[in-house]
């Protein structure tokens, strides 16, 4: 839930000017979503120009942790908002799920703002990898997929139990962010 809020609302963007982080994804894309993507798709729903480059070549070249997310493209096709994302590097076990979850939530937010349905989400990673210490978890994923009896056994359903669990965490997350902001004098 915290990561979803970071991506959608930039709840930790203040860490960048405070010098704690080099960037947040929201800090890099937020302005362009509001100034370019939404106006472009309102102007021309068939446009292929609603693209945000998240990579900052100058900053990332000097950063020991350069942005993994490189770009996002939004396209309305058949009345639905498709979203294509490109990662230069994506940890299959420790990052991909959170990235996909938060970015599909962003896709839904944009679709809602445009008054269209959610379409396809395409997630491309040039280096989709697993670190040695995560191999047991990856193998457990493999076993679950291999032994699934139906497609529904593999589906994650956010509505229902999980969204209630996420909602229950929101006050604690808000308090953590308040404390961090207070420490930074914000």
Within 8 A by CB and 6+ apart from 70, the residues are 53, 54, 55, 86, 87, 88
* Separation CA 60–CA 53 (nearest Å): 13
The catalytically annotated residue of 36, 68, 130, 155 is: 68
For 82, phi and psi rounded to 5 degrees?
A: -90, 150
d(CA 15, CA 17): 6
| Phi/psi at 56 (5° precision) | -115, 100
36 carries an active-site annotation: no
Return d(Cα 76, Cα 49) in angstroms, integer: 11
Annotated catalytic sites, by residue? 68
């Amino acid at each position: 839930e915290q990561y979803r809020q970071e991506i959608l609302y930039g709840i930790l963007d203040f860490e960048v000017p405070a010098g704690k982080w080099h960037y947040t994804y929201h800090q890099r894309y937020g302005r362009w979503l509001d100034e370019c993507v939404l106006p472009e798709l309102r102007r021309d729903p068939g446009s292929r120009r609603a693209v945000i480059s998240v990579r900052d070549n100058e900053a990332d070249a000097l950063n020991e942790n350069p942005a993994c997310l490189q770009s996002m493209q939004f396209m309305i096709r058949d009345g639905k908002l498709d979203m294509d994302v490109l990662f230069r590097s994506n940890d299959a076990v420790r990052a991909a799920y959170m990235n996909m979850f938060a970015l599909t939530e962003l896709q839904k937010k944009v679709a809602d703002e445009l008054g269209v349905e959610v379409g396809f989400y395409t997630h491309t990673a040039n280096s989709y990898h697993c670190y040695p210490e995560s191999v047991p978890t990856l193998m457990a994923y493999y076993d679950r997929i291999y032994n699934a009896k139906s497609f529904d056994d593999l589906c994650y359903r956010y509505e229902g139990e999980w969204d209630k669990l996420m909602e229950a965490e929101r006050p604690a997350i808000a308090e953590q962010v308040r404390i961090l902001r207070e420490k930074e004098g914000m």
